[in-house]
Amino acid sequence: MATASIIKNIRIVLLGAPGSGKGTYGKELAKYLNVEIFSTGDMIREEIAAKTDFGNTLKEFSTKGLLVPDDLVTNMLLEKIKTFENINNNNNDNVMVNGKKNGFILDGFPRSLNQAKKLDIEIGGLTGVVNVDLKEDIILQKLLGRKICNKCNKSFSTAAILNEEEGYDMPALLRQEKCLTYMESHDDDKEDIILSRLQVYKDETMHLIDYYKKQKDMVKVFEVKKGLKDLPLLYKIVDDMV
């Protein structure tokens, strides 16, 4: 076991269903470990917002809750990782580069067996895989309760998931009262899209847990019960991993 301060070249994959919170946990974990985070969902949203040809192609898949074709997303990500690793090439140890350590977390990638195999070939040597685990009925409540205020553009959650018996303690996160007047669902949080994203997760991504389990028991389960208040448990899991 090592403390976060002496970790070298961390490469952690976060797996988890849409709505499990892995994006939020990933960003907090990256700060904790002081490493880079590569989120394919964020990259795709940036491309779509920039309205590039590439972005328009990605939009056709992602707004329907479908996965973007493997080649497109894999090449996009590998290019970013390779640029990052080239910059850090001479800093193999614990040397700070741009204020960060030489390592990264992957959020939202891989999402299919093809992507996982390609990652093994091109990058290899993962430190470990964290499975962000949240029950499907709770995910559904969370995603249906996720709103955006069309005035101040901030996201918030109207879903209160509280169940003392089972240990759930995720209150609604409302911003200002007036946001409730202007709230809308995110484009990909409409019920039919949510259901197809969850189905795609079950069909394509869930198998990766077994794929990585077969590789030296790399998968650790992070059970979500209390939202951000669960972070110390995630940090402990990762500290034990490296």
By CB under 6 A, name the binding residues for ligand ADP.
Answer: 18-19, 23, 40-41, 44, 61-62, 65-68, 73, 108-109, 111, 115, 197
Shortest approach of ligand ADP to residue 197 CB, angstroms? 5
Cα-to-chain-centroid distance, residue 219: 15
Q: How far is the CB of 68 from ligand ADP (least distance, A)?
A: 4
To the nearest whole angstrom, how small is the minimum distance from the Cβ of residue 202 to ligand ADP? 13
Q: Is the Cβ of residue 103 or residue 108 nearer to ligand ADP in the bound state?
A: 108
Q: How far is the CB of 106 from ligand ADP (least distance, A)?
A: 9
Q: Which two tokens stand for residue 134?
A: 């949240």
Longest dimension (CA), the chain: 53
Cβ 241 vs Cβ 127: under 8 Å: yes
Measured from the CB atom, the residue of 23 and 227 that comes closer to ligand ADP is: 23
Shorter beta-carbon distance to ligand ADP: residue 115 or 157: 115
Residue pair 105/12 in contact by the 8 Å Cβ criterion: yes
Instruction: Please provide the DSSP assignment of 15-46 as one string.
Output: EE-TTSSHHHHHHHHHHHHT-EEEEHHHHHHH
Q: Which one-letter DSSP state was computed for residue 10? A: -
Query: 2 or 221, CB closer to ligand ADP?
Result: 221
